[in-house]
Structure 1
Amino acid sequence: MLKNLLLLCFLSISLPGTGQDPGPFTAKDTKPLVLALRRSTPDTGKVQLLLKLSDQYYYRLNRQPSDIEKALSYTLEAKKLSISLDYHKGEGISELLLSRILPQKNERENGRKAALKAIAILTKYNEYFQLGEAYYTMSGYYSTNAEEIGQRIALVEKSSEAFGKAGNKEKQGHIYMQLGDLYVTQGSTAKALSALRQSLAFFKAAGYKNLMGVYDLLGRIYLEIGSVDQAIEHGLLAERTAKMLGDTSSMQLCTIYNRLGNAYNALNRFDKQREYQTKALVLALRLKDAESVHIIAVNLAVCMQRLGDFDHALSMLNESVKKYPLKTDNSKVLVYGQYLIIYGKLNLSLGRKYSNIVEEITSKSTLSNINLRYAYNCLILFYFEDKNYKKLEMNLKKSNELARKANFRIYLYQNYLYSARLDSIRGNYSGALENYQKYSLLKDSVFRESKARQMSQLEILYDVEKKNDSIQFLTKQSGLQSGMLRQAGLIQNITYVSIGLLLVIIALLIAGYRLMQKSNRNITVKQDEINRKNISLEHLVNEKEWLIKEIHHRVKNNLHMVAGLLDSQSEYLKTEEAKTAIADSQHRIQSMSMIHQKLYQTENLSSIDISAYIYEMVQYLKDSFDTNQQIHFQLEIERIEMNISHSIPLGLILNEAITNAMKYAFKGDREGTIFIAFKPIGTDYFQLIIADNGIGLRPDFDIKRAGSFGMTLIQGLCDDIGGTLSVKNQDGVTITIEFLYQNEEKDTHR
């Protein structure tokens, strides 16, 4: 079975365009410009209005042929007026717009000539921004095939250079991203990596946030060179960026999901592949992109087969084909090939039906080499299952011929493995051994070549980056030398002025020295007085800290005394309800007492380490409850310091929640777990979770109408700290409190 399939990708089209297209515009956007044009006079302002209107119609939402006609009319009028005004910039931009409009009217050659005129005019008058646009538009007149891609790349590189002179880093970021895509198409992986890294640098320098396209291309390249971890890392960055920008349904996000799935496939993480390519398929269906639906469905079907889920793979393919029928031979071979693999496991008679269809399609020879080889491979795998060794051998022979013709060495050594398997089935063990040896030798050779190619690409990348660093260093050095020459002349002039000023300063210093002696005597007297006051203040501060500690100590002792009195009182009570109330009160008092104990023991008198306090609180409650229940505690507490105004409410909340869980969540001898988490979830924003896997609350429980004192107390304490409380009654009880913590002491010193 094929382990990998070609991923969904988007190739650069061979039509002129811009690095970033404006719009789309609507009639509402155009109306103010039309009104302004009617009131305009024949000057450069009118030229600019005409050019804006041309853009408005060219980039019109749901553009119609009439919109192209209007865009052309406004551009020609702008060009004519620019020539009459001798307004060179307007003339150059007019030619640039014509180079985009004319191909839409099947006047491609005239459009190319307009692009050349735009480049000549804008170069002559140093209009670098528009020149960058003109070079990029000109590059669109060349395709991405082997004969023309070099010319296309050269023009895009000139576009980047022009945008650099214009100082537009965001445009440079877009152009370098396009360069990265073109280098990938050309097979220059190292150059592509370098270009995309430069794209990221320019985007970040410009403060541009939409980086998911760059991350996606980087992930694609890293996957091709075998750096799967890097591929997944950049794919996840692309996904995270899309979410940050609110993108939930674009074709680009669909591509990101599909490529992430293939990256996880390379790690044999078929569960993650299934997760991401399912998301990709949902998006492709929503966007009604039939070709993408078929490609992603096949990728997903391969994944499901690796997971052993043949039935689900079949139903998913059937549903995709039902919604978007197969129209081209390439699409049919792609999907029917998977039918062959699946029916080879589930229903051989249906598989034979599809094998005949695929055989017929391959005989036409209209398929691409990649899809033709894929078809042969699926037929071979099916005929192994069907035990039709005659047809298997015939397709294996065709596959070998194609592999040698197209230099598909990876597929050639895989065919040797199939031949060895066929020989073994027929009892030709010497032939099987010979073919297996050929398989091993060719596989090792391809692996070594692949690694050598990767190393070569990485060396090229290193050389390119080293060259870029050298150019930057020389540029900085040249600038530094020019600055040093200017500085030398400035220093000479400053020296003469400084000598005159020095003489004046000496005279002032003498007079100042005499004044300073007098001032020093006065300062010494005042300093002695200040020192005496500082010593007195230090004593007062020490006494204050001692008194605060003593207060905390006495509060703790008083709370212990109250707890003891309650304990004594409980011996005279007869009802269990009263005893329980007394015990609950003791726990609450103990939770407050422990906080004052912490404040007494620490040097910081205003806050305590809440994590250490929670651990002690849990241990105290475990020791306090005399029960045979096997209750386990799972704590995920981060080290956080909080003041007493937050610590006491949090302690009481913990006491109530844990006590309720230990008393009511686990009936009889049932084992259970109480989970406690306390962590920051944002700047000065924290989350406290107390959860158990016990019997839960009654189904009709509503916190707003809860009559228990414990829940009422938790709600009140949560309000005291300005938090929000939620109670989830599913597989036990989960209490979640989120609150904003503002340290009063910190705020007063801001």
Structure 2
Amino acid sequence: MKFKLLILALSLCVATKTFAQQIYPMLTPIELKHTRLKLAQTSSNIERTQLLLKLSYHYIIKGGEYNSDLDSASFFLNRAQKLSKKFNLVRDQIHGTMLFGLLRNEKGEYDKFREILYEVISEADSRKLFHEKGEALYFLGCFDRTNELEQYKRALSCFQSSKSLKEEAYVHFSISKLYTRTSNGNKELSLQSAIKSLALYKKTKGTDLQYLYHHISNVSGSLNNWPDRVGYLLLAIDEVKRTGNSTQIGRYYSDLGGTYQGLKQHSDALKYLLLAQNRFEAQGDQNYIYYNANMICNVFSTLNQKNKAIEFYKSVIKKFPPTTSEHSIRIASHLATYYTQMKRFDLAEPYVKEMLGMEAKIGRKNFATILSYSVAVNFYLAVKDLAKAEFYLNEVSKNNATNPTSYISWTYLNHFRLDSARGNFLSAIQYYQKYKLLNDSVLNEGKLKQIAELQIQYETKKKEADLLIKDKNIFALNERTLFLDQEAKNRQTLLDKALLQSQKSDLLRKNKDAELAIRLKNIKLLKQQSELQKSQLNQAYLTRTIVICFSVLLITLLALLFRQFRLKQSANQIIAQKNDRLQSLVTEKNWLLKEVHHRVKNNLQTVISLLESQAFYLKDDAYKAMQNCQHRIYVMSLIHQKLYQSDEVKSILMPLYISEFVSYLSESLEVRQNISFQQDIDEIELNINQAVPLALIINEAVTNSIKYAFPNRQFGIIHLSLKRIADQIFLCISDNGIGITNSNLNQNTDTLGLKLMKGLCQDLNADIKIDNTNGTSIMINFEIIIPYQIELLDAV
């Protein structure tokens, strides 16, 4: 008995997820193709707008939330909105806005979804469009669960006002599902709403009621109304046969078989479970394959065919090996149950441990976990391990607030077995009384008879319907035979009359044919002569026309070619003159620039000479300052010298320039003997706007290293590196001298050299970094300005 209750509970719990339609279903592949074809063919703007909205809704509610589907929905929706605004289609505009809200919801923009839906509700309300307002309220309830029931009730009122029966029925259906879904839901109210939905749907035509029948059967089962559960499942199966929509018939067969199994009607249970198994295996749905196979094995076990049960289950596993941890847990629990029933505890124990180990590993806490714990309870009670049995039984009992009645009854029965095994007879009797009370409410003789009568009625109606169809077919065939016989007689009479008339007509036709033949010969000869003359005239006219046209075209073409040749020749002469003039101007400009650079260089050399004359009369700091000025002016003088000596007057080749400049510094400061200069300079060409600041920075850095890095004229090395990486220039000047002290490095210094370097770095938009590790290193990086960019800027 304990296994029957488990089976009944499992059948109901697995069936609680009803596969229901949307308020407006997604298009089938055939409907989608037809809608697209109709959209391409229609010329009506109203129909076109509605078809676009229909396609948009289809892609919005399509499962998976793929970007391609959302893009398609957005495409059709934008086109629909343009048409509805252009032709002032108010209802379609409101529908389109609502679909934009649903699209935002699919993209995860929930706040925007609610904002748009409230706008639609307000707009529809102001225009008294109750149907559209009801749709918006329904969708708001579907996706904003905070006030779901309230929104459904408001939508219901709107659909009642607009007399939208299908939508009103579906909202009742949704309210019913809401009552069953919530933890504190009212199952009686759920059943009432479902019955109202059914009554409304029956007033409409063409509605597929199988999902609603299935839902009502689940609610009836949760209320222990097993006759209604069986009856509505049979109605769902009839509806499948009526509509041809058989995607869920395996579910209905399985639920019906599970219900019969719990009610001890094993032959009916096995019949429907085998039908379900064939369906699930054809669909490849492993969850239902294992679940349904387990119920079939339980029927075999009840019929004392336990070996057959295990053979059947292993054959299913062989055909459909597990692919997930959940599948492996389910298989282990089922095999553990079979071997426990056979009292083969040595074979059952490995499966129990495997099942509990995987449950602990994945850490799930749901109804499937409760089923695993139930298997463990049965096993540990059977092997007298009462402590473990009590532990897992308590884990199962924790969920009695939400467990089905039949499952609660199973926990009471096992508490009775546990307390009996421990000698707690008073507690055991109390649990047994609870078990009997619940069990009697689940299964009683009256309900079983009612269910049996329903099954008999179903089978009888089915046979009567089959006989009626056969009688109608026989009658129709007889009528068809009589009609065909009469039609054959009528046709024969007509054929006889037509034959006589044909013979008379043949005689007349032969005489006329002879006369016509002579006339036709004469006419034919005349026509041939006429056509020959006409053909000759046409040929002559065509030949003359072709010659004239060809001559005109040839003359025109030659004239055009000659004109084009003269135009091109004239244009080439003008271009050549302009190019010569431009080249002359460029050459003249370059010479002028070189002359300017030469004069600037001479002027700077004059300034240096004047500074040298003045420095002759100076001493100490003043002399050093004057010397620094000479070096800085020499930096610029050398740049102008390089510019007028090179062919390119706007850029400097840095390796030659730096080498000559460093040589000048080492000679002027008389450090060639005790300081070595190492240069690592890439072949970099800089425009004058960047070369001058960079040269001044190098001058300041090298001069400081020569003066301060090597006191007492000790030997040292100064390393200069100039590298280009992509569009970035990296300059590094380092020495192995005494380095800048941390105090000077960390505080703001007022020395002219550092100020000058920082100012020049700002001119270059460069970053500067000074490091005193193993001497002093100055690192600068900036973005190169390519010389031709400077030319473009100058031209602008």
TM-score normalised to the size of structure 1? 0.52
The question of whether the paired residues in 1 share the 8 Å contact of 2:257 and 2:268 is answered with yes
Q: How many residues align?
A: 445
Superposition pairs of residues 651-662 of structure 1, within 5 angstroms = none
1:438 match: 430
Q: After superposing the two structures, state which structure 1 stretch, 431-440 or 235-244, moved more.
A: 431-440
8 Å Cα contact 2:224/2:442 also seen in 1: no
Q: Check 1:296–1:114 CA distance in 2 against 1; reply closer, same or farther (3 A cut).
A: farther
Find the aligned partners of 1:679 and 1:104 in 2 and give their Cα distance.
Answer: 47
State the AA in 2 paired with 1:223.
Answer: G
CA 1:49 to 1:197, structure 2 compared with 1: closer, same or farther past 3 Å?
Answer: closer
How do 1:528-539 residues align onto structure 2 when only pairs under 5 Å count?
none
CA distance in structure 1 between the partners assigned to 2:61 and 2:356 by the alignment: 46
Q: How far apart are 1:202 and its partner, in Å?
A: 1.0
Residues 1:126 and 1:105: Cα distance change in structure 2 (over 3 Å): same
* Cα distance change on mapping 1:217 and 1:26 into 2, 3 Å: closer
Give 1:16-415 correspondences, 5 Å limit.
18-24=23-29, 25-27=31-33, 29-34=35-40, 36=42, 47-48=49-50, 50-55=52-57, 57-58=59-60, 65-79=67-81, 82=84, 87-142=89-144, 148=146, 151-186=147-182, 187-208=185-206, 210-247=208-245, 249-251=246-248, 253-344=249-340, 345=342, 347-364=344-361, 366-385=363-382, 387=383, 389-390=384-385, 392-404=386-398, 407=401, 410-415=409-414
What amino acid is aligned across from residue 349 of structure 1 in structure 2?
Answer: D
* 1:376/1:396 contact within 8 Å kept: no
> How far does residue 93 in structure 1 lie from its aligned partner after superposition?
0.7
* Kept after mapping to 2: 8 A contact 1:301/1:314: yes
CA contact (8 A) 1:196 1:214 kept: yes
Q: 11, 15, 24: which is aligned to 1:9?
A: 15
Once the two structures are superposed, the pairs formed by residues 547-562 of structure 1 within 5 Å of their partners are none
Matching of residues 480-519 of structure 1 within 5 Å: none
Counterpart-to-counterpart distance in 2, 1:118 and 1:13: 29
Aligned equivalents of 1:241, 1:347: Cα separation in 2: 45
Q: Distance in 2 between matches of 1:262 and 1:415?
A: 22
> Match of 2:497?
none
Letter in 2 for 1:95: T
Q: Distance in 2 between matches of 1:450 and 1:319?
A: 34
CA separation in 1, counterparts of 2:214 and 2:343?
A: 37
Deviations 1:503-535 (A, max 9, x none): xxxxxxxxxxxxxxxxxxxxxxxxxxxxxxxxx
Q: Report what 1:682 is aligned to.
A: 468
Q: Residue type of the partner of 1:160?
A: L
Contact 2:198–2:212 (Cα < 8 Å) also in 1: yes
1:113–1:684 Cα change, 3 Å: same
- Report if the CA contact (8 A) 2:141-2:151 is conserved: yes
Q: How many angstroms apart in 2 are the aligned matches of 1:165 and 1:77?
A: 31
Determine the C-alpha separation between the residues in 2 that align with 1:153 and 1:13.
20
Q: Once the 2 structures are TM-superposed, how far is the Cα of residue 339 of structure 1 from its aligned partner?
A: 0.7
Q: Is the 8 A contact 2:274 2:296 kept in 1?
A: yes
Per-residue deviation at 1:310?
1.9
Distance in structure 1 (CA, Å) of the matches to 2:51 and 2:235: 41
User: Counterparts of 1:364 and 1:679 in 2: how far apart (Å)?
Assistant: 55
Query: CA, structure 1 residues 203+397, in 2 after alignment: closer, same or farther (shift >3 Å)?
Result: same
Structure 1 position 325, deviation (Å): 3.8
Q: Confirm or deny: 8 A CA contact 1:181 1:192 kept in the other structure.
A: yes
On the 8 A contact 1:369/1:406 being kept in 2, the answer is no
Deviation at 1:354, TM superposition (A): 0.7
Q: Which amino acid aligns with 1:2?
A: F
CA contact (8 A) 2:16 2:218 kept: no
Q: Structure 1: how far apart are the matches of 2:380 and 2:209?
A: 47
Paired residue type of 1:198: K
8 Å contact 1:376–1:398 — kept in the other structure? Answer: yes
| Partner SS, residue 206 of structure 1 | coil
**Contact 1:215–1:238 under 8 Å retained in 2:** yes
Going from structure 1 to structure 2, the CA distance change for 1:91 and 1:66 (only over 3 Å counts) comes to: same
CA drift at 1:367: 3.1
Query: Any conservation in 2 of the 1:173–1:198 contact (CA below 8 Å)?
Result: yes
Q: Is the 8 A contact 2:381 2:418 kept in 1?
A: no
1:342, distance to aligned residue in structure 2 (A): 1.0
What is the CA distance between 1:684 and its match in structure 2?
A: 11
RMSD: 4.0
Which whole-Å CA distance do the structure 2 matches of 1:217 and 1:272 have between them? 22
How far, CA to CA, are the matches of 2:236 and 2:465 in structure 1?
A: 27
Counterpart position of 1:419: 418
C-alpha displacement at 1:265, in angstroms? 2.5
Contact residue 60 and residue 69 of structure 2 kept, 8 A: yes
Per-residue CA deviation, residues 288-346 of structure 1 (Å, 9 max, x unaligned), is 22222232223333233222222332233334434444455544433322211212217
Secondary structure of the residue aligned to 1:350 is: helix
> Alpha-carbon deviations, 1:255-297, whole Å to 9, x = none?
2212212321332112211211222222222222222223222
Deviations 1:103-149 (A, max 9, x none): 33343443333333222222222223333332222222145xxxx5x
One-letter identity of the residue aligned with 1:11: K
CA change 1:109–1:289 in 2 (3 A) is: farther
Amino acid at match of 2:388: M
Change (3 A) 1:312 1:126: farther
Cα distance in 1 for residues equivalent to 2:257 and 2:51: 48
Runs of 5+ unmatched residues, structure 2: 444-462, 481-796
When the two structures are superposed, what TM-score results if normalisation uses the length of structure 2? 0.50
Provide the secondary structure at the position in 1 that maps to 2:23: coil
Cα gap change, 1:286/1:163 in structure 2, threshold over 3 Å: closer, same or farther? farther
Q: Which amino acid aligns with 1:437?
A: I
CA shift digits 1:412-434 (9 cap, x unpaired): 423322314533xxxxxxx1523
How far does the alpha carbon of each residue in 1:36-87 deviate from its partner, in whole angstroms, 9 at most, with x for none? Answer: 5xx78xx767644543453465578999633421321332344456457665
Structure-2 separation of matches of 1:202 and 1:122: 25
Distance 1:130 1:380 in 2: 55
Cross-structure match for 1:598: none
The aligned amino acid for 1:438 is Q
Q: C-alpha separation between the residues in 2 aligned to 1:205 and 1:181? A: 21
The letter of the residue matching 1:353 is P
- Give 3-state SS (helix, strand or coil) of 2:467's partner: strand
Q: Report the Cα distance in structure 2 between the residues aligned to 1:680 and 1:338, rounded to whole angstroms.
A: 40
Runs of 5+ consecutive residues of structure 1 not aligned to the other structure: 424-430, 452-676, 688-717, 725-750
State the SS of the aligned residue for 1:6. helix
The percentage of aligned residue pairs carrying the same residue is 17
Structure 1 residue 404, shift from structure 2 partner:
4.2
Q: What CA distance in whole angstroms lies between the structure 2 residues aligned with 1:320 and 1:684?
A: 39
Q: Report how far residue 395 of structure 1 moved.
A: 3.2
Change (3 A) 1:678 1:113: closer
In the alignment, the residues of structure 1 paired with residue 331 and residue 95 of structure 2 have an alpha-carbon distance, to the nearest angstrom, of 48
Amino acid paired to 2:196: Q
Structure 1 counterpart of 2:10, one-letter code:
L
Partners of 1:17 and 1:140 within 8 A in 2: no
Following TM superposition, by how much is the alpha carbon of 1:206 offset from its aligned partner in structure 2, in angstroms? 1.7
